[in-house]
Homo-oligomer: A and B are copies of this chain.
């Protein structure tokens, strides 16, 4: 049944991806609201061009959602495809080899912010629709698309959106391509995701920056006090020291650790790939377990005092840190944020005014790896790659996946077309063009496999 994409169709689809990537749809930046909107318009245009029906841009209190659907037969299974057209900020911009919003091909890779996260990936499903409708004039199943514009800021308006449109969005299975293959030639099906609890710590000492000579030795230093707090949040075994942090963690089973071990993960190759001297997983776990199935605490940003060129002898008035925890089942983001906040306030030096601001959070997610929807995904992978997909947990967070489960009752297929070395959230983000084309093929096979899966249809 599989039709390989023609060269001319590939070229057209790639141009359409570049058009999306040229739009700086940075959702966290209030100055780029119009660009985000422009990106939604372009997604809608490409959906219509593909042949989707009822395409509409639905406004939310934040950035809009792009919706589209294709109705084949009320008795056929219905898949709901989720993606996001917003992207991370591009800074530090000086580290990009080519401009972040001018998609540039080098060595078979398309470089641009959003290439792999997530414009290149969700577009595979839209182009699969375009390709199937051109070839077969119809689709074998019902499809619904939700492409949102707020994933990178924690999807604050998606859950209410799902609540408000429960009937419209009714489906049998959720399909998300916003994760990574296990290796360049080895697709994976993800059955677990980590959650997130993100906080900002702001310390204030004196009312203004002071001369470190005149005041140093009497007035406390918020940059040092911040360092003291951060240093106390993890111990030398890389375990988080916040009381209660691990209480609800469901540890990996012996079976799961055996399955992980069978994947043949090479920590030395991984270490060399990221260019670090040494890996530092939590004691008792290897690096693959540490970055996918164990909770973490990271410092995401630090700022205090003088950071320009040269030396300035300032005793800073303020210091700021952004920190975040990745969570695993059954940690609750609100509870972890509360524990963290209380612990930080407790260990903060009494000379400091300490403000802890909760930013966004998301639940961890896990689904049994033998679910029939995942079997359909495995069949699609076999059809295109002629091999079994790896089944693994992913270390990142897609907080909305749990909302789809909670609100719409949908099981989920996380079938990524990206790769972890594609610099998502970092300078020089890119997407392998070959995987863009293969992703489209897999999507087509997935739609066919899901259509045949009788146990899915409502």
Contacts and interface: CB of A to CB of B under 8 A. Distances in A.
A147 B304 CA distance: 32
Given A217-B395, A234-B224, A351 B306 contact: no
5 contacts: A28-B309, A210-B426, A224-B231, A298-B315, A306-B322
A306 B360 contact: no
Q: When A and B form their complex, which 10 residue pairs have the shortest distance between CB atoms, in order from nearest?
A: A207-B275, A213-B396, A231-B231, A223-B299, A227-B230, A217-B290, A218-B287, A28-B310, A278-B351, A301-B305
Contacts of A180: 214
A428 interface: yes
A250 to B, nearest CB: 16
Contacts of A279: 218-220, 351
B351 A280 contact: yes
Interface of A: 28-30, 88-89, 91-92, 95, 153-154, 180, 194, 196, 198, 200, 205-221, 223-224, 226-234, 270, 274-282, 287-288, 290-292, 294-296, 298-316, 319-322, 324, 326, 349-353, 359-360, 394-397, 420, 423-428
Contacts of A221: 298-299
A252 to B, nearest CB: 13
A313 B196 contact: yes
Q: Copies per complex?
A: 2
Contact of A219 (B194, B209, B280, B350): B280
A217 B327 CA distance: 11
A451 B73 CA distance: 107
Given A276-B206, A303-B307, A217 B282 contact: yes
